[in-house]
Amino acid sequence: MASGGAPGSATSSHSGGGGTMMPPPPSSSQSGGSGGGGPGTGAGISSARWSMSSSMRQSIGIGHPRSSLINAGARPSPMQPLTVDEYGLGGGGNNTRPGDMGPPMGSSRMSHAPRPSSYGTPYGVSSLMRATNVRDPRDIRSKEFQRQLIPQLTQFLTQSGYPHPVSTKTFMNPSTREIQEIFRFMYYRLEPRYEFLRGFEDEVPELLKTMKYPVPETIAKRSLSAVGAPHSWPNILALLGWMMDVILVFEKYKEDIELQALENHQNRDRDVDPRMDMILVTPEKALYFYLTQTYRMWMVHDIREDAEIEAGLAKSFQRRQDYAENEADKWKQMAAGAREELDKIQGESAPLTVLEQDSALLTNEIQTFKRAIDFTEPRIQAAQQDNERVQEDVALKEQELADLDRAKNELRAILQSQKTSRTELEAQLDQQRKLQHRYETEQERIQTVKRELQGVEQQVTQGERRAETMVKEYNTRATRVGAAAANTAAAQGGAGVQQSLSSSYLSIPLEMRLDLEEGTSEREMYSVDLEQVKKALLDLRRQLSDQSHQIQLEIMQSQSKLDQLQETIDDQTSELEVKKARSETLARQYQEEREASRQEIASRQQFIETRASLVREMVPEAKQNRVRAEAMERECEQVEHALTTSRDENRKKMEETMRRLTKFRLEVEQQASILGNMAAAQLAQAQEDERVQYARQQQQQQQHQSQPHEPTRRPGGRTSVI
């Protein structure tokens, strides 16, 4: 520091000549440079800096006597330094000297003289809400805007401790008194010390101008006297919503400042976050604090050089410089990575060409699927017609079986009503032999049917093998589709996009397994999930699924009827076995009673002849019944064979139809998923490019704004910041 000058000042005095006394800090009247010299006068600080520092320490003396919004300088500014000790200003601790006052606050000095800058302070509410005579950009008269704003206001008032009951009905049918109370409550949140003295209609327009409400002309006195009118209420509601937003912003800002100040107070012995230091403490403000403190030390203690103050200022600027250099290195690395990624993208093939090729391929596949559908629909209708005919035939056969059962029951009743005789026993033995022969014949026929069933099972096995072959072919094509998707992803943007697309693509199972033994429905028969289909194909899938379910239901009904026929045949076989056992029992009884019957032959010869005539009369009827029974059995066999054939044909047709439908759905779903993933990858790439460009712009702006002032060494060894 030069001799005769105050700390932080130049060698020249305020008047331009050398002197021993340092002039006081320039006031707002000197901010224009009228009382100072050229660029080398004062403390080397421009008039703009002195004007800014002056506005920071000046308070509002006149104006509105009751508004703390107007007297914004009467409260501490939120842009004050992080801690008092940060720059060695004597805010506490062992460094405090008697007479040190710390940085000047707005409340430390109240000026009662009117100043031109009374309403132009850059701090407080008036600086954050610049008045602009523009039209309200919000659609305040729309019902949607009001429906969204009213619940927000209700919740805000409830959480803020509004003393009166409030609900959405309060704003649906508002009264003037309620709205006035709400306005006063919200304004007190901004200005707790304000007092309403005049009429509400006269005072609110002035307050709107004081608050710098963007569109104060929309709130007239007549609107305030009748707030519920259709032409007034939208503007009043918009005003309340604007005040709510301002209150929330101020409270959040105050919370952040207080939290940061508390953290810095607790960590005053450690380094302060350089990011918050650069945001909350500008270089001009730090320099102003430095000049003020050195000036006070010189005036009070006659100390021209204070190493602690200079060390604190140097520490702050060094921390800012280190932080700025680190941030610059980070942005350079990000720029290099983005440049490499851009070069890599530019060296790849155009995604549009690949998409056009895929689009043409998908168009051909769609045409193929449509032709397959057109080919399948007539086959389904034919199968339905065949099922209807089979159902009619089964119904007729069931009716015939019912008639035969009634006839059999009648014959059984007749036979049971007759008494046993020798002739009857011989006839029964003869009938037993015939039944035995017939049973052996039926066994041979059953063996023949079993051999035929084995042949049918072999055909079914061959059909299953063909189905497995088609499934393998489908899996091969699905593998090719997956490989094509991977190639497309590689053509769009590198390994990162390819990995993302492959993961999204593999989330859908491509391998299909066919379960014909345990599967009873479409979902159980095929291992592929068929529920994820494009919206455009939902109607087609629903229609085909309904038809498939109907065919399956008909097949199940046919199977049930076949089971009933099989049960009928089993019942007849059981009946034959019962008759055989009964015949054997009768034979044993015949052997036992044979000797006794010889003694009674003479006495019953006449009775036998009479019964013989009756038997001869019943023989033709029995023959007719036997013929009818044989015909019935032949018809049953024919019906069973027809049903078996129809069931196999319907099953084959159904399997073929389901395979084609499943193939169609899966391929369409896979192609749609590929297109969606490709579009998502392109969108992500575009967003990444936009983010990189925006980051570069922010980096340039930050580098331009955060360039620190270079320190210069004065001849006396004192460091000064210019």
Domain that holds residue 357: 351-592+622-705
Tell me the average pLDDT across 568-576.
84
Q: How far apart are CA 408 and CA 415, in angstroms?
A: 11
More confident residue, 428 or 375: 375
- Are 428 and 561 within one domain? yes
More confident residue, 48 or 262: 262
Other Cβ atoms closer than 10 A to 720: 21
- Are 295 and 421 within one domain? no
pLDDT higher than 50, residue 552 = yes
- pLDDT band at 543; cut points 50, 70, 90: confident
Choose the most confident range, by mean pLDDT, from 196-205, 339-348, 530-539: 196-205
Q: How far apart are CA 132 and CA 120, in angstroms?
A: 15
Tell me, what CATH number does 198's domain have?
1.10.418.30
- Are 150 and 122 within one domain? no
More confident residue, 695 or 96: 695
Choose the most confident range, by mean pLDDT, from 60-69, 332-341, 707-716: 332-341
- Are 475 and 364 within one domain? yes
Choose the most confident range, by mean pLDDT, from 2-6, 492-496, 677-681: 677-681
Q: How many domains does the chain have?
A: 3
Out of 5-19, 256-270, 293-307, 482-496, least confident range? 5-19
Choose the most confident range, by mean pLDDT, from 463-472, 481-490, 680-689, 704-713: 680-689
Q: How far apart are CA 170 and CA 18, in angstroms?
A: 73
129's tokens: 């809400």
More confident residue, 75 or 666: 666
512's tokens: 């299909």
The per-residue pLDDT for 637 is 84
Tell me the average pLDDT across 29-42.
36
Q: How far apart are CA 291 and CA 293, in angstroms?
A: 6
The per-residue pLDDT for 158 is 93
- pLDDT band at 717; cut points 50, 70, 90: very low
Asked if residue 633 lies in contact with residue 572, where contact means CB atoms within 8 angstroms, the answer is no
Other Cβ atoms closer than 10 A to 28: 17
Mean pLDDT score across all residues of the chain: 71
Residue 615 domain-assigned (yes or no): no
Of all residues in the chain, what percent carry a pLDDT higher than 70? 66
pLDDT higher than 50, residue 126 = no
Tell me the average pLDDT across 484-504.
43
pLDDT higher than 80, residue 322 = yes
How many angstroms separate the Cα of 344 from the Cα of each of 331, 341, 348, 635, 677?
20, 5, 7, 79, 21
Choose the most confident range, by mean pLDDT, from 171-185, 605-619, 700-714: 171-185
- Are 320 and 364 within one domain? no
The per-residue pLDDT for 24 is 36
The per-residue pLDDT for 42 is 35
Residue 412 domain-assigned (yes or no): yes
Q: Of 326, 360, 389, which one is at a domain's C-terminal end?
A: 326
Q: How far apart are CA 52 and CA 673, in angstroms?
A: 61
Give one DSSP letter per residue of 89-144, joined into a string: --SSSTT--TT---SPPGGG----S--TTTT--SSSHHHHS--------S-TTSHH
Residues with Cβ within 8 Å of residue 289, at least 6 apart in sequence: 81, 87, 89, 103
Asked if residue 221 lies in contact with residue 202, where contact means CB atoms within 8 angstroms, the answer is yes
- pLDDT band at 596; cut points 50, 70, 90: confident
Interior/surface letters 179-214, b for 16+ CB within 10 angstroms, e for the rest = bbebbebbbebbbeebeeeeebeeebbebbebbbbb
- Are 124 and 147 within one domain? no
pLDDT higher than 80, residue 336 = yes
The per-residue pLDDT for 590 is 76
pLDDT higher than 50, residue 32 = no
pLDDT higher than 70, residue 84 = no
pLDDT higher than 90, residue 30 = no
Q: What angle do CA 13, 18, 19 make, to 5 degrees?
A: 75
The per-residue pLDDT for 274 is 54
Q: Which amino acid is at 19?
A: G
Reported in sequence order, the residue ranges of 547-621 that DSSP labels E, i.e. its strands, are none
Nearest to 562 by CA among 450, 652, 448, 647: 647
How many angstroms separate the Cα of 140 from the Cα of each of 173, 201, 214, 218, 238?
17, 21, 14, 11, 6
Question: Rg of the chain's alpha carbons, rounded to an integer?
Answer: 52
- Are 528 and 563 within one domain? yes
Backbone φ and ψ of 526, nearest 5°: -120, 140
DSSP symbol at 1? -
Out of 145-159, 257-271, 335-349, 615-629, least confident range? 257-271
Residue 108 domain-assigned (yes or no): yes
Q: How many residues does the chain have?
A: 722
How many angstroms separate the Cα of 317 from the Cα of each of 30, 276, 320, 324, 704?
28, 13, 5, 10, 16
Tell me the average pLDDT across 551-556.
85
- Are 226 and 78 within one domain? no
256's tokens: 């952040």
Residue 105 domain-assigned (yes or no): yes
Residues with Cβ within 8 Å of residue 667, at least 6 apart in sequence: 365, 369, 477, 481
User: Which residue is listed with tokens 């004065």?
Assistant: 714
- Are 575 and 508 within one domain? yes
More confident residue, 722 or 637: 637
Residue 264 domain-assigned (yes or no): no
User: Which residue is listed with tokens 């302070």?
Assistant: 121
Q: In the chain, what is the greatest distance between 2 CA atoms, to the nearest angstrom?
A: 178
The per-residue pLDDT for 443 is 86
Residue 340 domain-assigned (yes or no): no
Give one DSSP letter per residue of 414-470, joined into a string: HHHHSPP-HHHHHHHHHHHHHHHHHHHHHHHHHHHHHHHHHHHHHHHHHHHHHHHHH
- pLDDT band at 334; cut points 50, 70, 90: very high
pLDDT tens-digit series, residues 401-412 = 998 988 888 888
Nearest to 203 by CA among 213, 195, 192, 191: 195
The per-residue pLDDT for 343 is 86
Asked if residue 255 lies in contact with residue 248, where contact means CB atoms within 8 angstroms, the answer is no
pLDDT higher than 90, residue 495 = no
The per-residue pLDDT for 456 is 82
Asked if residue 159 lies in contact with residue 244, where contact means CB atoms within 8 angstroms, the answer is no
243's tokens: 């005040």
Predicted TM-score (pTM) of the model is 0.28
Tell me the average pLDDT across 221-234.
86
244's tokens: 């709510």
Residue 382 domain-assigned (yes or no): yes
Q: Is the four-CA dihedral 309, 314, 317, 318 of positive or negative sign?
A: negative
pLDDT tens-digit series, residues 642-665 = 888 888 888 888 888 888 878 887
- Are 115 and 214 within one domain? no
Of all residues in the chain, what percent carry a pLDDT higher than 90? 10
Backbone φ and ψ of 719, nearest 5°: -85, 130
How many angstroms separate the Cα of 92 from the Cα of each of 21, 263, 276, 299?
29, 16, 21, 20
Nearest to 380 by CA among 555, 528, 527, 556: 555
- Are 188 and 90 within one domain? no
Choose the most confident range, by mean pLDDT, from 37-41, 668-672, 717-721: 668-672
207's tokens: 């307050």
Q: How far apart are CA 153 and CA 159, in angstroms?
A: 10
Residue 232 domain-assigned (yes or no): yes
pLDDT tens-digit series, residues 605-643 = 777 778 778 878 888 888 888 888 888 888 888 888 888
Asked if residue 676 lies in contact with residue 534, where contact means CB atoms within 8 angstroms, the answer is no
Q: Of 288, 311, 326, which one is at a domain's C-terminal end?
A: 326
- Are 447 and 399 within one domain? yes
The per-residue pLDDT for 241 is 94
